[in-house]
Structure 1
Amino acid sequence: MELEDRAGNVRTRQDLAELLGLLAQDCAQHGDEWENPTLERYLEAMAAWVASMASLYRNRGQEPPESPSWELCARMLLAARNYE
């Protein structure tokens, strides 16, 4: 299952833990395909994505979530791989 599909199905803390393990594996195996393969760049990208999140949702015609869900946390983690 693709990471994006997995993120859309994250409903529990355990689901998120499993996704984090898969992200670590993906970075180890395909880090050269990530825009942000180092921890520093990854965290900077995640911070930028979270700061822009409301605009990103509104651009899609959606209301930004009031509080995070496990799925939203998963989407943040995936977005940080390639967010500029």
Structure 2
Amino acid sequence: MTYETGRATDANPSDVETREEFTDFLSAVLVDFRSTGASEWENGTLDRFLEAFSAVAEARLVDEPKQEQEQASWRLFAQLVQAATGYE
């Protein structure tokens, strides 16, 4: 499948609550990257990913209330990672 602008990881951050679940999420992100993410993600290189991660953290996640984004959580970290893989 071809993506016009690239895609985000298929790993789902919605159930991440604990550090262990966050590490499981990161493992799923890595599996996705190694399978097709390097060529399909919008930000499949470290420099592009980190640039997008910084931009996502600054811009805030669209679907999350501002108050929840100001309180650090394992889910928020997972959401930022997921968003940064596909952020344009």
Fold shared per TM-score above 0.5: yes
| Structure 2, gaps ≥5 residues long | 1-9
- Deviation of residue 61 (structure 1)? 8.0
Separation in structure 1 between the aligned mates of residue 27 and residue 64 of structure 2, nearest angstrom: 32
Matched, 1:82 2:64: no
Give the corresponding residue for 2:74: 70
| Structure 1, gaps ≥5 residues long | none
Separation in structure 1 between the aligned mates of residue 17 and residue 33 of structure 2, nearest angstrom: 23
Separation in structure 1 between the aligned mates of residue 74 and residue 83 of structure 2, nearest angstrom: 14
Call closer, same or farther: CA 1:9–1:40 in 2, change over 3 Å: same
- Flag the structure with higher helix content: 1
Separation in structure 2 between the aligned mates of residue 80 and residue 34 of structure 1, nearest angstrom: 10
Report matched runs for 1:37-76 at 5 Å. 37-53=44-60, 56-57=61-62, 60=63, 62-65=65-68, 66-76=70-80
Give the counterpart letter for 1:25 in structure 2: V
Give me the TM-score of the superposition, normalised by structure 1: 0.81
1:17 to 15, 23, 34: 23
Separation in structure 1 between the aligned mates of residue 18 and residue 41 of structure 2, nearest angstrom: 26
Q: Which runs of 4+ in 1 moved over 6 A?
A: none
- 8 Å CA contact 2:11–2:32 kept in 1: the answer is no
> What do you get for the CA RMSD once the two structures are aligned?
1.7
Separation in structure 1 between the aligned mates of residue 64 and residue 54 of structure 2, nearest angstrom: 22
* Count of aligned residue pairs for this structure pair: 77
Q: Identity of aligned pairs, percent?
A: 35
SS of 1:17's equivalent in the other structure is helix
